[in-house]
Amino acid sequence: MKKKILIIISILILLSTLFFYYSNKSIEGLYIKNYEIFSTDSNQDIYYDQYVLEIKNQKFDNYFYGSNGIPSSFNYKKNGKNIKLTSIKNDSSSDYNIVLNKNHKDSIVFKTDRNNGEVVYFKIPDSLKNNTKISLAEKTFVLKSEKFIDTIYFDKDYLLIKDLNPTDYWDTGGWELLNINGFDIILTGYSFVYVVKDINEKLFFYRFLQGNRIVEIESFEIEGYDLTRVKKIIERLKQLENE
């Protein structure tokens, strides 16, 4: 009788271990934080700043622009729909509930009771992994999608984007190119992230939009582009930084 009880207990422990293991493995992958919502009785605030989240081996690694590729890391434990994050740096912790996004099977939503907080992450599909080395510095491209045409210049430190509109205005920000688990990711000083892939020696940029949409942006490199105005803008930015 005791032997049977020991066998049953061993089986239950094994099943519990397997459930815990696969429960944690089920959310692993690389995600882009798409937006977050905080609600009060009087209003609702929505933030669209994006960053990259890698979930792997019971760890959350958040990659932000300006962190030089060094993630902000958290250990996590998932139990059913509940997940607890503990900061590796200072042992602070937060509890969230995970819910599936009905509109997008490969996205997850983290909910917290604090101000009815809700953070939505979209999983980057494996089809966007890139197998070739990408070089962007000191290059100019025209980016074309279904909704816009932009000119973009990658300085070593700055990213300059110009909408093809009557104002002819160059918007400026920083950028970093990271390779994370086979994906080439551009973190920007703007509020968005690019995923880049080389397809038949042509670069395609992918952006994740609200509404569970991935926009594919075709690029055309421009050689001999007149960068006189761009260089002046960069010089002015560097002067301001040194003041």
Based on the fold, state whether residues 136 and 114 are members of the same structural domain.
no
Same domain membership, residue 109 and residue 137: no
CA distances from 47 to 51, 56, 192 (A): 12, 25, 11
Which residues span the domain enclosing 149?
A: 128-242
Predicted local distance difference test score (pLDDT) of residue 38:
80
> How distant, in Å, are the alpha carbons of 52, 108, 133, 191 from that of 179?
11, 22, 10, 19
What is the number of domains present in the chain? 2
Give the DSSP H/E element, type plus range, for residue 233: helix 228-242
Instruction: Give the number of other Cβ atoms within 10 Å of residue 17's Cβ.
Output: 10
Q: What's the rounded Cα separation, in Å, for the pair 56 and 71?
A: 13
CATH number at residue 213: 2.40.128.570
Last residue of a domain, one of 95, 123, 151: 123
Q: Mind listing the pLDDT tens digit for each residue in 89-108?
A: 776 777 777 776 555 567 78
Residue at 155 is within a domain: yes
Residue keyed to tokens 């519990």: 16
Residue 6 lies inside a defined structural domain of this protein: no
Asked if residue 224 is part of any domain, the answer here is yes
Query: Does 33 map to a domain?
Result: yes
Rounded to the nearest integer, the mean pLDDT of the chain is 81
- Please give the structure tokens belonging to residue 182: 């086979």
Tell me the whole-structure pTM to 2 decimals: 0.81
Q: Does position 80 have pLDDT exceeding 90, yes or no?
A: no
Does 21 map to a domain? no
